[in-house]
Amino acid sequence: MALAAATSTTPLPHLRSTAATVPISAFPTALSHLSTSTKKPISITCSSTALQTSPPASATDRVFNFAAGPAVLPENVLLKAESELYNWRGSGMSVMEMSHRGKEFLSIIQKAESDLRSLLNISSEYTVLFLQGGATTQFAAVPLNLCKPDDIVDYVVTGSWGDKALKEASKYCNPKSIWSGKSEKYTKIPSFDALEQIPRAKYLHICANETIHGVEFKNYPKPASENEVLVADMSSNFCSKPVDVSKFGLIYAGAQKNVGPSGVTIAIIRSDLIGNAQPNTPVMLDYKIHADNNSLYNTPPCYGIYMCGLVFEDLVAQGGLSEVEKKNVKKAGILYDAIDGSKGFYRCPVEKSVRSLMNVPFTLAKSELEAEFVKEAAKEKMVQLKGHRSVGGMRASIYNAMPLAGVEKLVAFMKDFQARHDA
């Protein structure tokens, strides 16, 4: 079935170089037969070829990218970056060439932080850090900064990433899994009243949205004691909806799901929690060092931060996260309705009340058709629909930047595929 292609704005023309003829002097052609006689240099010329660039992309060149991360970025953000790639706003250089301590980049990172604070209504009591290493690095940084080696901490494990965070923390403190959904294949989130929190725990850790299993917290547990803080890995639903930051001691997120390219991690931490790192904490994992240096202790992922800034600017222009959430709810509703209305041909294993707005896993009743589904979808320019290798099936990641047209096209394909294979 031929389906409508993705729409796109025509990008700016590409720069092209001009061919030139350059004279050079040749080296002796046979170094193994050197003689004492003087040889006259041989003058030759070669014509350099013009820089080959691809023709401007058209609407049909873009695919609908359902990857879990690195993931789809807003087209207008990509086109803005393209227009500024060679010469950022008259500076005479690319962002990738700038000194991270120069006035140009300082304006970029400061604007990015300002827009993020506006989007999430982050108060002055919190420090915003732009870090490296992905959220996985924070699995170690969190315990190293928030507790001592003998301290107990609580972990709620609702999927693979929560489990990985727990295992990494065991190297640096005494984590306790107070609930795990592993036995039910990570399809649920527990009742908060049922959580047996440890009274003297330093923090309570959750993964707000499990990218692999498609389980999302719709609200958040409250730590059992005043001295315990809530910590959340929000990598795959960061800035997809409003969040009351004041309920958390620390929020961290890898940017490559929703707000930027890979290579950037964002941490929002209550400032009074900074400065208590364990003595053996590596410099690059110490929040105080990064806070004292305004995320510029060493050369940060400058271009990634610049791209995050463009995304934040775009989210502000859309009307903020309340408007973004409405769009995400609509997209997810269309897709889940198609799955639930397929009379069992498609199945989503996640409990309906905690289904993710960002990552939608589903299977086929006839599992032998799943590979064909992914292959045919790719031919229709819908890519990265194969499920994570640990769970199989399919997964459609429909982050902020996935347009409604992408979800509508996927649903149309799903209905057509079912009509052709549901005997």
Q: Which residues are catalytic?
A: 161, 233, 257
Place of tokens 């940017």: 255
Residues 6+ apart with CB under 8 A from 335: 360, 396, 398, 407, 410, 411
| 268 vs 245: CA distance, rounded Å | 8
Is residue 119 within 8 Å of residue 321, measured between CB atoms? yes
Which long-range contacts (C-beta less than 8 Å, at least 24 apart) are formed by 315-320? 315/115, 315/119, 315/239, 315/259, 315/400, 316/115, 316/118, 316/119, 320/118, 320/119, 320/242
List Cβ neighbours of 74 (8 Å cut-off, separation of 6 or more): 311, 314, 400, 401
Identity of the residue numbered 354:
V
Question: What are the structure tokens assigned to 63, written together?
Answer: 């695919």
CB count, 10 Å around CB of 358? Answer: 28
Distance CA 305, CA 114 (A): 13
How far is the C-alpha of 151 from the C-alpha of 353, rounded, in Å?
34
Alpha carbons 363 and 344: distance in angstroms, whole number? 10
Answer yes or no: are the C-beta atoms of 233 and 253 closer than 8 Å: yes
Distance between CA 268 and CA 253 in Å, rounded? Answer: 9
Instruction: Judge contact between 394 and 374, C-beta under 8 A.
Output: yes
Enumerate the β-bridge partners of residue 368: none
Other C-beta atoms within 10 Å of 24: how many? 10
- Is 30 within 8 Å of 223 (Cβ atoms)? no
Determine whether 49 is exposed, middle or buried from the number of CB atoms within 10 Å of its CB (0-12, 13-18, 19+). Answer: exposed
Residue 132 neighbours by CB under 8 Å, 6+ apart: 263, 264, 265, 284, 300, 301
